[in-house]
Amino acid sequence: MTLKTSTLGYPRLGEHREWKFLIESYWAGNITQEELLDKTKELRLSFLKKQADAGLDLIPVGDFSLYDHILDLSLQFNIIPKRFKDRDITLDLYFDIARGNKDHVASAMKKWFNTNYHYIVPEFNNVKPQLTHNRLLDLYSEAKDIIGDKAKPVIVGPLTYVSLASGVDDFTATVKKLLPLYKQIFKEFTQAGANYIQVDEPIFVTDEGASLLEAAKCVYAYFAEEVPEAKLIFQTYFEGLISKELAELPVAAFGLDFVHGLEDNLKLIHEGYFKDKVVFAGVIDGRNVWASDLTATSSLITDIQDKVKEVILQPSCSLLHVPVTKQNETSLDPVLKNGLAFADEKLVELTILAQGTSHPLYAQHVADFEALQAADFRNVNLEDISSVKTERTAYSKRAKIQDDRFKLPTLPTTTIGSFPQSAEVRRTRLAWKRGDITDQDYENFIQAEIARWIKIQEDLDIDVLVHGEFERVDMVEFFGQKLAGFTTTQLGWVQSYGSRAVKPPIIFGDVKHIQPLTVKETVYAQSLTNRPVKGMLTGPITIVNWSFERTDISRGDLFNQIGLAIKDEIKLLEEAGIGIIQVDEAALREGLPLRKAKQQAYLDDAVVSFRLATSSVKDETQIHTHMCYSKFDEIIDTIRQLDADVISIETSRSHGDIIQSFETNNYPLGIGLGVYDIHSPRVPTTQEITTNILRPLQHLSAKQFWVNPDCGLKTRKEPETVAALEHLVAATKEVRAKLG
């Protein structure tokens, strides 16, 4: 019998990033709001039709957004930050909360669990939840006209939503305020004909979820009593269910991840906790691009079927985390390409698995999978790391040597690495890729941009300069283009935050350093100035976490392969006279397993690979690193063990809260304060930056601190970048004067 199929969510970007360009055109004032809404509606409906044409039985509605689905829910529930309260709920307010405006900072942005997707944090400070408008019902009604009763409404559940929010003084009371709003939404969905309603509660795969079990029982008992006709799917992903007690919730079905939560979830299945339940089984990896092993997955499905009431097949999570389709990839090795599955191909895999061996494509997919595993490039050759140095001279000693070498002022200023990639930079790169200009023409252009921005930085009186990374499309993709064992795609884009898309490289084989990666541009920049220029590299953990990684070796071995490759590049930079080298680990916290029991092994592997990369340098060489929006308190010991001379962190969007981790843990190394938010187009005032600098000086020594933006400036425009950096330097000089 053919099984039913479903998905949890579909990519918003479009095959050619149409979604991104529409939104950015609206921000730039090039299209009207009506045009934006009309064009994005066309995209949204085309996504629904594509999933229907693939043969899916249930198709998500409400996964589409104009920025972020959590922000959508916040506006629907009137969870508006206090500083924006006097305005009507409009599209412009929506974007202002996400991006900030000239008067107000944007809401905080955090990683969605352990992924590279960022959500806008709801702010519950002094707000009264109410249902402003059931936007999801509008989307459901729209979808029914296209796909009929296949439409499946999707909403983040109340317990996960409140868990992800800030300003929550009383968790239980806050959830209770939301329950009538969810009740109304569910009632309206069922009245409109919804067969199932997907309620995303991924908080219940985390350790935090274990403390919310009683709350879950109360919440879902409330829904069962108040809206008994609503067929709710209690949907989780990214890990196994945190407790067997959740299997007793009075819901119609459970969505479980049998890829990243296979061991725990399968154990619950085998122990009979779901014998009378409908299980939406996430058997296809929604977070990686490798085609499924249909033989093994079919066996898993049979195993699950025997022990539950009904199985409905789906990916392990939303397909938001993978590119749209591999059909546009014309340059990949055929064996590799045949072994890949992006979002559209995963829809096909679902239909194949649903029909089993009778499906006409089953045999070919099995053959393609086996050919990939047998390919020469999948051979594993692990280097012996026992002879590689992983310890440096004590920080207190080498810091004095570095102070003598660089003679920097108190609170030295710098940036994180990248400068605006203007339309001219993008046009010139595209012309070079197309062969319209020569390699020399392109190199001349890159050098001219480097020289121009070195002059801008000197004029701004920044202390430690960067070359600007104009030759790089992306901080990870760039390395994927130059290291052995990687390949890059043409249109493999994935949403990171808002309209920001990244194109993760694919790690398919052993990683090796086979050519200089960054030396030419960095050395050229250093030749133009007497101020130090930082070498800019991406660290092994971030490269893995922001790539589609191979899964046929352990993550620890993969980290080490890349650590050794970065070590070779650092040696070349050091030999070329570059004295400050930044090895970014922006995604270290992001990759932290969601369960504490699995975290230490990951963190230990992270420390080993970072030290493999960075510990062979001389004492006089200063190693920096950078980490993005994170909860640092739980990994502060690991950050210390990395032994980087300076770590740059965000302190602006979190309104200084993140620095508490370093204040309360007696952190002995250097800290770069990310004193303004680069994800917003607004230019911070000098006073705002001054406040962000002074806050940590109440508890920590000024000798520890550097001052910088909170992230790279690639996505910003030049005028706002220069203005913001002017304010950064002015604020720093003001604080220096106060310090005497």
Q: Are 565 and 538 in contact (CB under 8 A)?
A: no
Question: Residue 638 has which token pair?
Answer: 């690991």
Report domain extents, the chain. 4-106+117-377, 403-739
Q: Binding site membership for L-methionine: which residues?
A: 416-418, 469, 584
> pLDDT tens, 449-464?
999 999 999 999 999 9
Active-site positions read 679
Question: What's the pLDDT band for 635 if we cut at 50, 70, 90?
Answer: confident
> pLDDT tens, 500-531?
999 999 999 999 999 999 999 999 999 999 99
Beta bridge partners of 254: 234, 279
Neighbours of 681 (CB within 10 A): 17
Q: Binding site membership for Zn(2+): which residues?
A: 626, 628, 650, 711
Q: Average pLDDT of 551-580?
A: 97
Q: Binding site membership for 5-methyltetrahydropteroyltri-L-glutamate: which residues?
A: 17-20, 111, 546, 590
Q: What global pTM score does this model have? A: 0.91
Q: Average pLDDT of 676-691?
A: 88
pLDDT of residue 711: 87
Q: Which CATH class is domain 403-739?
A: alpha beta
Q: Distance between CA 610 and CA 250 in Å, rounded?
A: 47
Rounded to 5 degrees, what are φ and ψ at 34?
-60, -40
Q: Are 297 and 353 in contact (CB under 8 A)?
A: yes
Q: Distance between CA 190 and CA 196 in Å, rounded?
A: 8
Instruction: Work out the mean pLDDT of the chain and round it to a whole number.
Output: 94
Which string of DSSP letters, residue by residue, matches 241-271?
Answer: -S-GGGGGSS-SEEEEESSTTHHHHHHHHHT
On the CB side of 14, how many CA atoms lie within 13 Å of its CA? 19
Question: What's the pLDDT band for 85 if we cut at 50, 70, 90?
Answer: confident
What contacts 469, CB < 8 A, 6 or more positions away? 417, 418, 419, 475, 478, 536, 712, 714
CATH topology identical between 4-106+117-377 and 403-739: yes
Q: Are 11 and 289 in contact (CB under 8 A)?
A: no
Indicate the DSSP class of residue 121. Answer: P
Q: Distance between CA 137 and CA 185 in Å, rounded?
A: 8
What contacts 714, CB < 8 A, 6 or more positions away? 418, 419, 420, 421, 469
pLDDT of residue 366: 97
> pLDDT tens, 609-622?
999 999 999 999 99
Q: Binding site membership: which residues?
A: 17-20, 111, 416-418, 469, 546, 584, 590, 626, 628, 650, 711
pLDDT of residue 660: 65
Q: Binding site membership for L-homocysteine: which residues?
A: 416-418, 469, 584
Q: Average pLDDT of 674-679?
A: 84
Question: Residue 679 has which token pair?
Answer: 């994800």
Q: Which residue has the tokens 């202002």?
A: 96
Rounded to 5 degrees, what are φ and ψ at 138?
-60, -45
What contacts 526, CB < 8 A, 6 or more positions away? 532, 533, 577, 578
Q: Distance between CA 607 and CA 643 in Å, rounded?
A: 9
Neighbours of 574 (CB within 10 A): 17
Query: Is 339 in a helix, a strand, or coil?
Result: coil
Question: Residue 164 has which token pair?
Answer: 């992800």
pLDDT of residue 652: 60
Q: Sign (positive/negative) of CA torsion 35, 19, 153, 144?
A: positive
Which string of DSSP letters, residue by residue, matches 129-175?
Answer: ------HHHHHHHHHHHHHGGGEEEEEE-HHHHHHT-BS-S-HHHHH
Q: Does domain 4-106+117-377 have CATH number 3.30.360.10?
A: no
Query: Is 462 in a helix, a strand, or coil?
Result: coil
Considering 201-210, 654-663, 667-676, the range whose residues carry the highest mean pLDDT is: 201-210
